Structure 1
Amino acid sequence: MEFLSGSAGFLTGYILPFLIVLTLIVFVHEMGHYLAGRWSGIGITAFSVGFGPELFGFTDRHGTRWKLSAIPLGGYVKFLGDEDAASTPDYDALAALPETERKRTFLGAALWKRAVTVAAGPIANFVLAIAIFAVMFSIYGRQIADPVVAEVRAGSAAEAAGVRPGDLLVALDGHPVATFDDVRRYVSVRPEIEILVTISRNGETRDLPMVPERTEMTDQFGNKMELGIIGIVTNQEAGNFRVVEYGPVEAVGQGVIQSWHIVTGTFDYLANLVTGRMKADQLGGPIRVAQASGQMATLGVAALLQLAAVLSVSIGLLNLMPVPVLDGGHLMFYAVEAIRGRPVGPGAQEIAFRIGMALVLMLMVFATWNDISMLLG
């Protein structure tokens, strides 16, 4: 009975929130492809959430099979003329179609229509994230604090540079900062990289160079991560903690800004990965996402939705990478086609898709290995 109880707890605590978050993100991504395809006049034969055998579904009046499939780790839209879920063209089937039907296939569509249809998936992910953040800001507002130093940690980079309690941080590397979160966000992704901190003290500004220390931090759930810190702290008195409320339009603007922060933070992390300033073990896969989903679920629906927004941006960004089999890979081929005036040959595309699939599988294996190592460690 203990085993059954533990299994039920794992299912409801981790797997269920993970599936809710993943299904939302996948559905919105594929709906982007679907809506753009329909708008472009491209025939669509299937819309699936999940891969593998169909669990249940129905066929609409346009001939599209809507279905939920057995393996809930993705999804796809299959266009007329596709051989499989990866949108590999079925050249034999295309040759057998009459001219009127061939124009309704994905391959037979104009180049710009194909590009719009492919790009619509990642764009839908960004729109989802912006919408979630906008709703959260509209309902709850945003807690902010002024970038005023209340305490300087002993032995820190800030102490060595001459930062004092009461100093107001006004810019980092020339970029203005308005809140303490702006400072934390900028510094955390720059471990061991010299930054120029501009402070205001007694009405005078000073530029203080310092190098954030790479430090292992532990969050409230015990998850460890490496971040850059300079050793400053604020508090209620110095930072004037307050909640800023936003109207609908302002909330959307804040949603765009928040989503953009995730994009830039991702690129900063990748740059640190390449230069060796951060470890690759922070790159997680489905196990870590499931764990994070369960942890956020304990904090409430709002926290889980915000995780969904972060993951939606990440998945949209990943899909735009110029790797064959990903949306960005297809867009890369379309760019080549636009320059050459003719599409890349089927043989070259097949080779590229095989290489792309190998790269994606390697990334998945590596991320899953990191997840397993995290659980065992």
Structure 2
Amino acid sequence: MTHAPGLLLTIAAFLAVIGPLVFVHELGHYLVARWFGVKAETFSIGFGRELFGVTDKRGTRWKFGWLPLGGYVRFAGDMNPASQPDPDWMLLPAEERNRTFQAKPVWQRALIVAAGPVTNFVFAILIIAGFFIVQGEPGTAPMAGRIMPGSVAEKAGLQAGDLIQRVDGKPVDSFAALSAYVRAHPGQPIQVELRRGEDQLSKDLTPGVAVDLDQHGKQVRIGVLGIQAHADSVNPVRAVALGAEKSWQIVAAMADGLGEILTGSRSAKELGGPLKIAQVSGEVAAGGIGPFAFFVALISINLGFINLLPVPMLDGGHLLFYALEAVRRKPVEPQVQEWAFRSGLLLLLGLMLFVTFNDLSSFGLWRGLSGLIG
């Protein structure tokens, strides 16, 4: 029986996910800005009143805020959310003004802004690449790599290295085909024909039953044998390529899911917020370092993906304005930017309230309150 993680583990796991990912995101902005000679005045993890911090020799204040739900880097000359400079900007000495964000050409400003989400993607790719280095690349052949202890496969006498050739008399030419057939037969007896060395063997077994989520987020029963695919060792270059491929698949799934929610084919109730992330953080942390590391990679990809959406207040919104500036050969009018960013702020606040309501609903809070009222 699995037990729900305690409150302290949940809080610690949540901070262990959000803190490093916010730092990585903002570090991307900071490093590219420093590369282009922009002075960073503040590097903050968290919002609100400063808890503690230190100022480095370049004059950058590195600090922690009391609300650990994000962070920011404030550059010299970047005085408000619309990236408009202070009116006194033109009065600065030329050398000092050249170190401000607004003094840089649009392509450099765009790279500084894009560096945050890109760094999140790179961070996730490296984590996933580490899994491939440690575990290897799953082979395509229907060969058993590892037999899970206590599984149906172990009880039936299957061994690592067994090559599955037929299931219920039907040839299987890949591990994916074997997995698909087993998943489709939960709790139903099947016959497996395999080759072990020079021997041909036949096994009668019944896949166990597990619960998974389909592409629409609904719970479905699936069959499981407890066999992991045979894995081939990979070098670091191949591991990074596989990490990038897996990350792209996750991004594509996120884009598809968002599209389905916007078109109404999936319920917006599936959207989760910080409370849900905190809950899942505790659950995966209780499962060990492996699942937790993969969850960090997943949230990092999610953070990069969301920040690239063309919504004012997000990095993608800034990039949209920079693209318009590049096409028009002049910045978008300040009043248009201010209106857009105010609207974006309202949108994000509304979305935050909505996902928090969803989170509380998933925890059963509203049902509990209705029961108390009733």
What's the TM-score bracket when you normalise by the shorter of the two chains?
0.7 to 0.9
User: Which of 116, 125, 148 is the aligned partner of 1:121?
Assistant: 116
- Is the Cα contact below 8 Å between 1:79 and 1:87 reproduced in 2? no
Distance change (3 Å), C-alpha of 1:241 and 1:139: closer
User: Which of 310, 320, 324 is the aligned partner of 1:322?
Assistant: 310
Distance change (3 Å), C-alpha of 1:183 and 1:124: farther
Distance change (3 Å), C-alpha of 1:136 and 1:246: same
Q: CA deviation at 1:245?
A: 2.7
Who is 1:14 aligned against? 10
After TM superposition, the score normalised by the length of structure 2 is 0.75
Q: CA deviation at 1:277?
A: 2.6
User: Which of 134, 138, 141 is the aligned partner of 2:129?
Assistant: 134
Distance change (3 Å), C-alpha of 1:18 and 1:353: same
User: Which of 342, 346, 349 is the aligned partner of 1:358?
Assistant: 346
Ranges of 4+ aligned residues in structure 1 off by more than 6 Å: 181-184, 228-232
Distance change (3 Å), C-alpha of 1:95 and 1:243: same
- Is the Cα contact below 8 Å between 1:144 and 1:179 reproduced in 2? no
Deviations 1:276-333 (A, max 9, x none): 3322111100011001100110111121111010010111010000111100000000
User: Which secondary structure state, in structure 1, belongs to the residue aligned with residue 323 of structure 2?
Assistant: helix
Deviations 1:118-154 (A, max 9, x none): 0000000000000101112212335567579xxxxxx
Whole-Å separation in 2 of the counterparts to 1:226 and 1:218: 14
Who is 1:48 aligned against? 44
Whole-Å separation in 1 of the counterparts to 2:75 and 2:359: 34
Who is 1:255 aligned against? 243
Unaligned runs of 5+ in 2: 144-166, 185-209, 368-374
User: Which of 59, 65, 69 is the aligned partner of 2:61?
Assistant: 65
Whole-Å separation in 1 of the counterparts to 2:354 and 2:139: 37
1:281 pairs with 2:269: yes
Q: CA deviation at 1:47?
A: 0.5
After TM superposition, the score normalised by the length of structure 1 is 0.75
Q: CA deviation at 1:105?
A: 1.1
- Is the Cα contact below 8 Å between 1:128 and 1:309 reproduced in 2? yes
Who is 1:155 aligned against? none
Q: CA deviation at 1:83?
A: 2.2
Task: Summarize the alignment of residues 1-377 of structure 1 with structure 2, pairs less than 5 Å apart.
Answer: 9-11=6-8, 13-84=9-80, 86=81, 88-142=83-137, 166=170, 168=172, 179=176, 218=211, 226-227=216-217, 233=223, 235=225, 241-376=229-364
Query: Rg larger in 1 or in 2?
Result: 2
Whole-Å separation in 2 of the counterparts to 1:375 and 1:228: 18
Q: CA deviation at 1:75?
A: 0.4
Distance change (3 Å), C-alpha of 1:229 and 1:298: closer
Whole-Å separation in 2 of the counterparts to 1:96 and 1:300: 56
Whole-Å separation in 2 of the counterparts to 1:146 and 1:273: 36
Between the two proteins, the alignment pairs up a number of residues equal to 312
